[in-house]
Amino acid sequence: MKAENIFVEFEGDEAGSSPEVYELNIVSGGCRLYGYLLAPDQRMEKPYPAVVMSHGFPGYTTNNDLELALMRAGCVVIHMNHRGAWGSEGRYLFTNLKDDLVAITKWARNRAIADRYGIDPENIFLVGHSMGGQTVLNAAKDLPFIRGVAALAAYDIDAAFRYRMEKELLLMIETEGQCLKMDSAAEVYENALGHRDELGILNRYERLSEHPVLLVEASLDSVAPADKMMRPLSERLKEMSAPVTYQTIVSTHSFAGQRMKLAKTVAEWIEKTVRSLV
């Protein structure tokens, strides 16, 4: 892998070697999740690190640019839509998110799948933005084999209730969530309220100390303010002397004006983590 290649392409594609996009459907909770896999140019050295992405709520911002940048750097990138989101089967509930990501990551590590796509099973990373940041942090606690986890402007449902941001959460579900398959906004909100403790990123946080962790703060974030949602986790992990890296980017929640800096931050951290194994 070469992080320096995030914005560099080969002079031209080469038959039989060029990057490919593969459509995927993976079963989680009896439902088919739909998405795709980006395979890097085969002129890059194998095996490839793999990045399993988790989209935010409801998934309008899919981080395609970050995914393609990581592919150019030499990563296999897997993007799946959670249950009830963007055509995937089932109903959207916050409690399904972690289970979906666990199923996807175990699929990627399966020997037959890893061999087919050139995945290095010792270098599988989870990367998520916003609600996806919460999801990857929670999934990492149940996936001891992953190499590392990166949360970008992570949302924390438990902190939202703790800091009286529940009205904003409900409004988000009612408005942005209209594109999701759900019985009602009230059901999804009640799912968050009833499971806030287990969904919170501080729940079982000590399990994260087993992995390198990258936390990227958007300093102008009003959706998932880092002082309430991500910094407490960083402080707890540092107290344990865990391998946590905390980066701040001066941007809003979507990192819309700093996407290249975001890609560089994530790619360089993955490359450094991969090289630390050698």
Nearest Cα neighbor of 92 from 53, 140, 37, 131 is: 131
Domain count, the chain: 1
CATH code, domain carrying 57:
3.40.50.1820
First vs last Cα of the chain: how many Å apart?
12
What is the Cα–Cα distance from 254 to 70, expressed in whole angstroms?
18
Q: Is there a domain that residue 152 lies in?
A: yes
Q: Is there a domain that residue 250 lies in?
A: yes
Instruction: Decide: helix, strand or coil at residue 253.
Output: coil
The predicted structure's pLDDT at residue 135: 98
Q: Is there a domain that residue 257 lies in?
A: yes
Based on the number of CB atoms within 10 Å of its own CB, is 93 exposed (0-12), middle (13-18) or buried (19 or more)? buried
What is the Cα–Cα distance from 239 to 9, expressed in whole angstroms?
41
Report DSSP letters for 175-231, one per residue.
HGGGGS--S-HHHHHHHHHHTHHHHSTTTTGGGGGGS-EEEEEETT-SSS-HHHHTH
Which pair of tokens denotes residue 11? Answer: 């002079």
What is the Cα–Cα distance from 107 to 122, expressed in whole angstroms?
14
Which pair of tokens denotes residue 97? Answer: 């998110």
Q: Is there a domain that residue 174 lies in?
A: no
Instruction: Decide: helix, strand or coil at residue 4.
Output: helix
Other C-beta atoms closer than 10 Å to the C-beta of 112 total 6
Q: Which helix (H) or strand (E) holds 3?
A: none
Q: What backbone phi and psi angles, to 5 degrees, belong to 20?
A: -135, 155
Nearest Cα neighbor of 131 from 55, 62, 38 is: 55
Nearest Cα neighbor of 59 from 37, 83, 81 is: 81
Q: Is there a domain that residue 3 lies in?
A: no
Q: Is there a domain that residue 94 lies in?
A: yes
Beta bridge partners of residue 22, listed in sequence order: 37
Q: From first to last of its 278 residues, what are the pLDDT tens digits of the chain?
A: 999 999 999 999 998 899 999 999 999 999 999 999 999 999 999 999 999 999 999 977 779 999 999 999 999 999 999 999 999 999 999 999 999 999 999 999 999 999 999 999 999 999 999 999 999 999 999 999 999 999 999 999 999 999 999 999 999 999 999 999 999 999 999 999 999 999 999 999 999 998 999 999 999 999 999 999 999 999 999 999 999 999 999 999 999 999 999 999 999 999 999 999 76
Q: Is there a domain that residue 184 lies in?
A: no
The predicted structure's pLDDT at residue 278: 60
Instruction: Label the pairing between strands 148-152 and 20-28.
Output: unpaired
Supply the range of the domain harboring residue 131. Answer: 16-156+204-272
The predicted structure's pLDDT at residue 86: 93
Q: Is there a domain that residue 217 lies in?
A: yes
Instruction: Label the pairing between strands 148-152 and 213-218.
Output: parallel
What is the Cα–Cα distance from 53 to 63, expressed in whole angstroms?
9
